[in-house]
Amino acid sequence: MRLYLASTSPARRALLAQSGIEPVLVAPGVDEDAAAAAERDRLGRELTGPELVSLLAVAKATAVADGLVERTDDAELDGIVLGGDSAFEVDGVLYGKPHDPELARQRWRQMLAAGGGTLWSGHCVVDRRVGAHSVAEATVPGPGGAVRAGDEPPVRPVGASSRPVGASSLGPVAPGGSALVVDGDRVVAVDSAVLTFADDMTPAEIDAYVATGEPLEVAGAFTIDGRAAAFITRIDGAPSAVVGLSLPVLRSMLLQGFGIAWHDLWAQESTPAL
């Protein structure tokens, strides 16, 4: 089964490849700042972490699934489209990509002063298998089998709303928690991980790390799978969510939304980017 990744992120592609899945890469062409600004204007307030990452994940997946971006071939989509987005929250403030070295240094000083923060990871999966239909309801049990009375499933399923599926359907998500919603041919989910930073990181280490350029184009100005790994002492949540894509949540989305087993995506032949 083919998985189209609505992203050109090397980290997300590597995560999937390490799990035995070789995605087809399609650049979604979404203006993230404009999409977030439009939603802030609509709501009349700032977006929460789960709202922001789910909004952008939906926008990216929809752009590819609904043919809103140019591709290099005219072949019909036949598979699953995945969009994702991440943001790091520190003391109620959302940090995206800093781009500028001085801003990256400033953010590191703020993150270290707070001791850590929450990484929000948004996901949207759209079913574009030719002739396929959604087979699951939004209220099916969480991953790992039936849920005992009084237990909260690892990924909290919630009912779909009358609005287009997205953050408004998910409702509040606590730091360290996750939730998903199924609505017809698409599933939206948010996962989170709480990170703790080393309490003895020095200004010289901050300067050296920023000088590598690694933190400039990643949410929160750090990567757990890169040079910043030594500065992170604890992760409460899925490590893959910190990299940019929660593999346990993606597995639950496929299973609960479409009845697709994780191993159905394994051992695909390599497919060039479109």
What CA–CA distance (Å, rounded) separates 126 from 159?
Answer: 17
Backbone angles phi, psi at 77, to 5 degrees: -60, 135
For 174-207, how does the pLDDT look when each residue is reduced to its tens digit (9 = 90+)?
999 999 999 889 999 999 999 999 999 999 999 9
Q: What tokens does 110 get?
A: 């703020």
- What is this structure's pTM? 0.83
Q: Which of 66, 85, 127, 151 is catalytic?
A: 85
Q: What pLDDT score does 156 carry? A: 56
Task: Give the start-to-end residue ranges of the domains of the chain.
Answer: 3-265
What is the DSSP code (8-state) at residue 42? H
What contacts 20, CB < 8 A, 6 or more positions away? 265, 266, 267
- Cβ pair 29, 67 in contact under 8 A: no
If you search the block for the tokens 């990744």, which residue do you land on? 5
CATH fold group of domain 3-265: Maf protein (3.90.950)
Q: Backbone dihedral region of 115: left (phi > 0), alpha (psi from -120 to 50 degrees) or beta?
A: left
Q: What pLDDT score does 192 carry? A: 96
Q: What pLDDT score does 141 carry? A: 35
Q: What pLDDT score does 207 carry? A: 97
Q: What pLDDT score does 171 carry? A: 76
Q: What pLDDT score does 96 carry? A: 85
Q: What pLDDT score does 67 carry? A: 83
Question: Residues in the chain with pLDDT < 70?
Answer: 69-74, 132-169, 267-274
Q: Is 85 a catalytic residue?
A: yes
End-to-end CA distance of the chain: 17
